[in-house]
Amino acid sequence: MIIVLRPDVTEEQFNHIIEKIESHGLRAHISRGTERTIIGAIGDESVLRNLPFEAMPGVENVMPVLKPYKLASRTFHPEKSKITVRDVVIGGDEVIIAAGPCSVEKGDTLIRTAVQVKNAGAKMLRGGAFKPRTSPYDFQGLGEEGLKLLVEAREVTGLPFITEVMETRTVEMVSKFADVLQIGARNTQNYELLKEVGQTDKPILLKRGMSVSLNEFMLAAEYILNERNHNVILCERGIRTFETSTRNTLDISSVAVLHYETHLPVWVDPSHAAGHWRWVNPLSRAAIAIGADGLLIEVHIDPENAWSDGAQSLLPEKFALLMKDIRKVAEAVGRTVSAGEGV
């Protein structure tokens, strides 16, 4: 920890700060400049984390040297983590594409969509059975019935699936069906839910909340890791900004920062960032170019009649084109994207 003192710090204030540091078993390294004195607290600075040095008279600024997240950080785990879901490896050279409808609907839309996305090269299926909708009057998801439809689609296509779990009460039930549990943007900082999914043996796709900083995002992942579930995928899905031409603003730089700071695979959801299918292809290309390990994309066989997020859902033909486009970008950056069966 580095403590910068005010120019007018008194001898008494200075001695008090040094005493505080030393009484916690750390050594104070003092550097006296012409204008400022800087103190470096040497040793295990985590013991100082809850001490409000900023509150002490004579202190101008405090800078921690260590990151507040440990298990998620590259310091703790220098190599990039790989996560295996059935026969799919996430975090390797292959960029994994998960595609499917926003919500699981009654009827055969899920299966028909699943077959098409598989043919185009998707390695995983997505679909929500529990939906976090802005309005209580909107479709809330089929619940357990939806999970059963996802299992059926997995049996037909062989694609493992990602599905959202919204509350602690349903974690056990959803885990019985799902291959990957999704924590949605509205629950990124639902710490009880994070702890609960941290106790399952399922990989977790943790989405970034629309107003969550990257530091807060990594600390949210830390909650899951701290429960001994090490299989966490971080997913950027756009944040709230002043811009209104897209539903959210895709914070593309987050992919580079998260890769630098953490060892966890980083995915991008261009659909929820865009809010309109037109931007999904270019945002996907950008995501692959910057190093995303996977994409979560909404695809629907009949977007006009989708039960949720139709505007941002791609028709299967458009998805197949997107797959062709991102394959070229992947190749340019030394990655691969599956060709599927339809190419």
Give the binding site for ligand PEP (CB under 6 A). 102, 128, 132, 184-186, 207, 237, 269, 272
Position 233 contacts Mn ion (CB under 5 A) = no
Q: Which is nearer to ligand PEP, 196 or 309 (CB)?
A: 309
Residue 100 to residue 87: CA distance in whole angstroms: 19
Decide the pairing of beta strands 94-100 and 124-126.
parallel
Spatial contact of 99 and 294, defined as CB atoms under 8 Å apart:
no
Query: Where does this chain touch Mn ion (CB under 5 A) — which range of 94-102, 156-164, 216-224, 247-255?
Result: 94-102
| DSSP string over 165-230 | --SGGGHHHHHHH-SEEEEPGGGTT-HHHHHHHHTSSS-EEEEPPTT--HHHHHHHHHHHHTTT--
Nearest to 3 by CA among 31, 44, 24, 25: 31
Q: Which is nearer to ligand PEP, 118 or 237 (CB)?
A: 237
Mark 301-330 with x for binding to Mn ion (rule: CB under 5 A) and - for no binding: --------x---------------------
Residue 84 to residue 29: CA distance in whole angstroms: 46
Partner interacting with residue 259 (select from Mn ion, ligand PEP, none; CB below 5-8 Å by kind): none
Least separation in angstroms between residue 272's CB and ligand PEP is: 4
Least separation in angstroms between residue 309's CB and Mn ion is: 4
Least separation in angstroms between residue 102's CB and Mn ion is: 3
Least separation in angstroms between residue 308's CB and Mn ion is: 6
3-state helix, strand, coil in the chain (%, to 5): 40, 20, 40
Spatial contact of 96 and 323, defined as CB atoms under 8 Å apart:
no
Q: Which is nearer to Mn ion, 102 or 273 (CB)?
A: 102
Partner interacting with residue 207 (select from ligand PEP, Mn ion, none; CB below 5-8 Å by kind): ligand PEP
End-to-end CA distance of the chain: 55
Q: Which is nearer to Mn ion, 26 or 295 (CB)?
A: 295
Instruction: Supply 165's token pair.
Output: 């779990």
Partner interacting with residue 118 (select from Mn ion, ligand PEP, none; CB below 5-8 Å by kind): none
Within residues 101-130, the interface with Mn ion by CB under 5 A covers 102
Q: Which is nearer to Mn ion, 102 or 235 (CB)?
A: 102
Partner interacting with residue 132 (select from Mn ion, ligand PEP, none; CB below 5-8 Å by kind): ligand PEP
Q: Which is nearer to ligand PEP, 222 or 309 (CB)?
A: 309
Residue 107 to residue 57: CA distance in whole angstroms: 67
Spatial contact of 225 and 232, defined as CB atoms under 8 Å apart:
yes
Helix or strand or coil: residue 209? coil
Q: Which is nearer to ligand PEP, 132 or 340 (CB)?
A: 132
Interacting residues with Mn ion (CB under 5 A): 102, 309
